[in-house]
Chain A
């Protein structure tokens, strides 16, 4: 994307005013999206986004500038702007050299079928199949929408600490949602499938099955009753509940929140912060997962990082800036949405390892409560630990048995409290669907996973007494 000698000159310019660190991040992204709605192809769309962001750190200040023009003149202008933004310095000369190195290519993820080799007609055919399958479930299905989005992104990252890395990232995402209409009004169901892989993901999973599942959820909820309100035991099905940990503690373990004392987990390394059943891992290397990358967006290899082991807080997650200030290694968690964005500490794939309990026993030993078969999104206030997450498909548990379906609602809890209230953890495990994590206006793809588990007491936000 950019020649090595140009990178050297850009980094040299960026450092010219006494900066301690300079970085160039360049990306070239092609994407295709096809949306299907209301029985027809809604839109077929192509995108091409290409540009570079230059980061300069001087003292406590980070300067950032970006450009969509990859000519040397424009890159040098961006480097100058970033250096200016970081503040004036003594102007010492620091010539940056890549020493004729080839960029590090990291672990190449094998993509069997690149989306670049798939016809748009094939995309349309998949969406038609999904539409037909969802509508065949029941005459009460009144609306179906589906979409496929895929992207192939090449990135090049170089910095004055010696990082020189290149990567190609392919992602494919399919989603389907259905609306059912009945005497009680309308209800919705949805499914999604997303991997950091190519078109081969559709060999293993049938879009028609996903579409039928989405339609089944919507139809089932037509007979759902209002969710209860108040505190009660909540059992969460494997795979779907990783978002609980993402919100209940994941964000609070990001070193930027910790450094500012804006996390309930600040200063608690070595302490018991969760039930001893809980071992929490953030791992950007899991093959093909939605949050997986060879490198993070600062050019550092992703890793498997144990954050909580047997309930004890082991470590936080780190990007370049926070690790540098603490004089410790990075953890491969410096991520950004695109070249227009500053990197921050972010999660990759965050999951809890399997525990000792039989999943069926978890339900049968729960006298009364709620079983959540499918969670939606959530959000957290890292400073207070209070977080919410949505129940998209849930049931009452009565006398140790799953009974009536419930309407949607949020669950609310406090991170440290909920983590210590996990009193059963299944020996099953699954990763959940693809997620987008939002922080400071930037969205990045993340994965989550967990075994079936029980929280002894959570507040269910329904309307029933």
Chain B
């Protein structure tokens, strides 16, 4: 009965339009004291609603939420004096400095001046924000904002810490630091409940609650989630054909529940504990991860729609050695600030080319110059044979672009958005009808034709945005952080679509801060502070970080090592 957080048959619904939508249904669980509990689930599973109920910011329609043995309806003030809560957007005052934000929260938590000073010093050391005390919160990087938000929630060492997706949009270095802080809190006896979209973070939790459709689908340790999958995961290789073709072939077999591209080959989850090699395929057993468990559990809960690759269009061509994008010594200044500092790379036709980097690395600026949305300060920039410094409009007709926020009209329906973009791209008559029908069919948008874009789940919005960008059949597709905030299953489906496009000869440029997505790319550029740190295939980049301590470095490890080495160089040279 001394569970720090307990949901007793909680139901919560919200009004939407004329009806009500149930966010949580008959939810019943408890969080064990002194542990880190991870909350995972697809988009719209009810994670944020659950967090808000736990913080006393929402009241349950039915049932009871008990925090530290107090009822959230009756005793919210006592609860809020003992918990720390960090909302998804950190809840910082952007025009207040780091110090002022901390002072405000210390004041609201009722800390005396002596305690406040002591505690703030500790937290500033812990979060390494000390040197930035006088900087405004709005001018901090995403990772620093997140640490400041956490510091504000930690001022009065909370007995229960609630973190709503604290690591979304944050680079691997900041994520690693955050975990160090969270594990430190656990040592001091705090209970932590955090929602996350990262599977590697789920593995680090003591316990996981899997939420789906407002109900608990499972609650266990990561190891227990993985156990039933032993012997069901394999790494499949076939040297003669590409990974993408192999994956396409594997995912259509009845025994294959999931097929995912990795650097070394295709990772497969099968329904029974046997390999199913065909032809020249090499099947090797590998250990199960939580991601497999997630896919398997949700796969049972929702029927899976494998992405059907439509017949390749006539223009389809195998990946060639033709250079379609050429960048040399590209620079961009904003005032005195150099956002992009002389970068160069080449993209071949039909490649999936990834631009990786933390927030503020210059990815989006580079991207905008490539799409002709922002003029370059200097350098060479050729896209599809067109010099972007002179003929931007001509090049724009040959590219498709999906921006970070999808750029859809929220109060237009799916069909209306498609119709608008088709006319914006100058499609007419029979071709227009044909392309609109193709978009609805290819992206399975039929049931969302008449739903306003604002009311669509994020994953469907992303599909609609992709459909809009492909209406004019561009040979090059630009995707700016298309998977940010989208749940793991939708991300996976999205990448299958990207793969099938690449197979048909479309060149895809993509930015992301999900390091696991880097594996899907043929070529990568790793950026930091406007410079290119490394480029090459995912294998090459990971190999560059290999040493005795890390014989098999992950992309995260590689990223962290490269950035740390780069920063050391910068310090040495300055």
- Asked if A and B are interacting partners, one says no
- Interface residues of B, Cβ cutoff 8 Å to A: none
